[in-house]
Chain A
C-alpha cells in the first residue's frame, strides 16, 4: 500500500495535507541539509523526516491490524512505559505549526497557547496521520488551555485525561500514583493485555534506554567546540516522540559514537569561540525550529534545552523493580522530579537551569515563551532575576509558531550574542 492509499483509509484531507507538506522539503533542505559539518549519523533522522507521514504511519497501522492500539500524548508526564508494556504504541503528536492555528481558532479563543491551537487544528483539518491513526489521546491537566481543549477534542477522538497534581507533597505523590494505576487499567482494558512483571519490565527498559540515549547525546554537547548543532539535537528530541523507541535509541547511540570520535579529535560544527546558548521554557514541538535556527544563523550554538522537548523529557529514569506494583509506583515517581511550571512552587526549575548552564558551559540563557502561556510567562520573573544575580546574560522571547517575527527575534538574539562577545 502506498502512502496515499493509507492516508485515504485514515480519512485524511489529502488536498490540504499536500498543501501543508509542500514547503517542508525546501525548508528542511535550507535549515538542515545545506549546513556543512553535519554528522553522518543524522542521515537516519533525515530519512525519518523525509517520509515523516509515511513509513512510521505504516508501522503503526500494521500494529493496529495485529490488534495493538495507538495512544497519542502531549506531555512528558504521561507514562509511555505502561503502553509499551502491552505491546501497543505511545506517540507524541504534531503541535508546532502555524498552518493549523487558524483552524484551531475556529473553536478556541485566539488568546490561547499556539501549541493548543495548532494541535486542535491538526485534528480538525485531518492533516496529521499520527492523529488519524491514534485510538486514544491521553491528555493531562498541565495548563488551563489544554485542560479545557480536551473537552472539545473529545468530540473528535476518544480522549482520556490524567489529572496531574499541582504540588509535589506526599499527598500529591499518592494522588498521582492513583492516576497512573487508573491509566494502567485503561490501557489493559483497551489493549486486552494484562500487565505482568515481565512485560512491564520490558516497557520500562525500552523507555529508559531511549532516555539514556538522549542523555548521552545531551552530555556530548558539553564539549567545546560543540560536536553537533543544537538544531539537529532539537530535531532528534522531537522525533523521539514519534519513532519506534528501540530503533530510535539504537540510532541515537550510533550518532553518539560518531560524536565521541569528533570530541576526541576536537572537531566541532562551530568554532570554540561561538557563543553557547541554553534554551529554557515552553516546548518546541515538531516542526517548531525557529528559535534554534535563528540562534545558530546568528553565529551562536544551542548547547541544551531545559524544556519538555529537551532535558525534562529524558533526565530521570524509571527505577527498576521486581513486581508490577512497585514498578507502577516507580513509574509514578519519575515525573514528580520533572520541574514543569504547572507546579507551585517550582524552585527546582531554576536549579535545573543554573546546573545546566554550568555543566554545558553556556554563555547565556535564552528563555522561550509561547504566547499566552501563563505559567511559564509568570515564572520568567524568577528566572530573569536569578540569571541577573548570577551574572548570566539572559534574554526572554515571547513568540508563536509563525514566521513573521523572525526579523525582530533575530535582532534580539544578535544583541544577546553581542553582549557575550563584547
Chain B
C-alpha cells in the first residue's frame, strides 16, 4: 500500500510517498502564497509519474485546513513522527521552518508530549534568515568564507530591526562574512533559549529548511553543548511523518 504525506508549508509544499517504510517518491515545490495549489500540482505530478493516486493521504502544514483531500494532522504531530523515524531515542526536536520555529518533546513512541512555538513574529525562523541573507546578496565564496569568520554581535531579533542593524554594520565597513557569522550565532542563541524553555536536551534533532544552514547547527551545538542530529532531507520530515501517519 502506498501512503502519502503532503506538507503544505508557508515557503514550500512537500510530498513524500511511502511503500511500506521505503520512501519511493519525494518532491517539493515553492508555495508562492498558494500552498494549496502547490500541493495539488505535487499530487498531479505524482499521478503522472506513477500512474495512480496513493491509497492513503495525510495533509499537514499551514495550508492543511484548506486542502480538499486527505486526513488533516498538524505539523507538530507529523514532525515528531517523521523525526522519530530516524532518531527513535532522541527526545527533543527543534524545527526551523519557513514562518515558525517550534520545539517538540516526543516520547518513546514518537508521540508529542510537549511543544512550544514562536509567537506572532518571524524572529528565529527560516524566513528571518532568508530575508536578511537575500538582502546581503552574498556570493557563494562569501558564504564559504563566513564559515570561518569571527562572528560579530547582532542584537536585534526583529527581522526589520536586524536588517537595519546589518546594514549599519556593513556601512561601518565590517566584512560581510563576519556579519553573516554573527547573524547565525545570534539566531542560534535565541533558538537555544527557546529549546531550554522545554528542558535541557542531551541530543537535539534539528529539522526543517533551517537545518540546511550548517552554521546554524554549529552555533546551536556550541550554545546548547549537545549533539545535533540532522535527518536526511530535514525539510521533508513533516511530510514523512504525515506519510507514516497515513
Residues on A lying within 8 angstroms of B by beta carbon are: 388, 394, 396, 398, 404-405, 407-408, 410-412, 414-415, 418-419, 422
Q: A419–B113 contact, CB under 8 A?
A: yes
Do A405 and B120 touch across chains, with their CB atoms under 8 A apart? yes
Does B119 lie within 8 Å of A398, measured CB to CB? Answer: yes
- Please choose the segment from B46-54, B68-76, B139-147 that sits at the chain A interface, where 4 or more of its residues have CB less than 8 A away: B68-76
User: Number of contacts between A and B (CB, 8 Å)?
Assistant: 39
With A408-B100, A411-B74, A411-B75 as given contacts, are A419 and B112 in contact (CB-CB < 8 Å)? Answer: yes
Q: Majority SS of interface residues in chain B?
A: mixed
Most chain B CB neighbours (cut-off 10 Å) among A396, A407, A412: A412
Q: Which chain A residues border B65 with CB–CB below 8 Å?
A: 407, 410
B117 touches A412 (CB 8 A): yes
In the complex the two chains form, is A411's CB within 8 Å of B114's CB? no
**Number of B residues contacting the other chain (C-beta, 8 Å)?**
18
Q: Can you show 16 pairs from A to B with CB atoms below 8 A apart?
A: A388-B114, A407-B62, A407-B65, A408-B100, A411-B76, A412-B76, A412-B117, A415-B74, A415-B76, A415-B77, A415-B112, A415-B115, A419-B77, A419-B112, A422-B77, A422-B112
- The answer to whether B85 has its CB under 8 Å from any CB of chain A is no
When distances are taken between beta carbons in the complex, the residues of chain B under 8 Å from A410 are 65
For A422, the closest partner residue in chain B by CB is B111
Interchain nearest-CB distance for A270 vs B (Å): 18
Q: State in angstroms the CA–CA spacing of A422 and B73 once bound together.
A: 11
A394–B65 CA distance with the chains assembled, in angstroms = 23
Q: How far apart sit A414 and B112, CA to CA, in the bound complex (Å)? A: 12
The smallest C-beta distance from B244 to any residue of chain A, in angstroms, reads 13
Contact between A394 and B77, CB atoms less than 8 A apart: no
Q: Is the CB of B74 within 8 A of A418?
A: yes
Docked CA distance A301–B112 (Å): 20
Could you tell me the dominant secondary structure of chain A's interface residues? helix
**Chain A residue with minimal CB distance to B100?**
A408
How near does chain A come to B108, taking the closest CB pair, in angstroms? Answer: 13
Q: Considering the complex, give the chain A residue whose CB is closest to the CB of B120.
A: A405
Report which of B72, B111, B120 forms a contact with A419, defined as CB distance below 8 A: B111
In the complex the two chains form, is B76's CB within 8 Å of A408's CB?
no
Q: How far is the CA of A414 from the CA of B74 in the complex (A)?
A: 7
**A394 CB contacts on chain B under 8 angstroms:** 114
Chain A residues positioned under 8 Å from B113 (CB to CB): 419
Q: Point out the residue from A408, A414, A415, A418 that lies within 8 Å of B120, measured CB to CB.
A: A408
- A362 to B198 alpha-carbon distance, docked (Å): 23
Chain B residues closer than 8 Å to A411, beta-carbon distance: 62, 74-76, 117
- Pairs of residues from A and B, 4 with the lowest C-beta to C-beta distance, nearest first: A415-B76, A415-B74, A418-B77, A414-B74
| Chain A residues near B77 (CB-CB < 8 A) | 415, 418-419, 422
Which residues 113-153 of B sit at the A interface, judged by CB distance below 8 A?
113-117, 119-120
A248 and B140 CA atoms in complex are apart in Å by 71
* Residues in B neighbouring A419, C-beta threshold 8 A: 77, 111-113
Chain B residues within an 8 Å CB radius of A407: 62, 65
Measured CA separation A396–B76 after assembly (Å): 15
CA distance A394 to B114 in the complex (A): 7
Q: Known: A405-B120, A408-B120. Is A418-B114 also a contact (CB below 8 A)?
A: no
B residues in contact with A404, CB < 8 Å:
120
Q: How far is the CA of A412 from the CA of B104 in the complex (A)?
A: 12
Provide the B7-31 mask, 1 if CB < 8 A to any CB of A, else 0: 0000000000000000000000000
- Contact of A418 with B73 at beta-carbon distance under 8 Å, contacts A388-B114, A405-B120, A412-B117 already known: yes
Identity of the chain A residue whose Cβ is nearest the Cβ of B75 in the assembled complex: A411
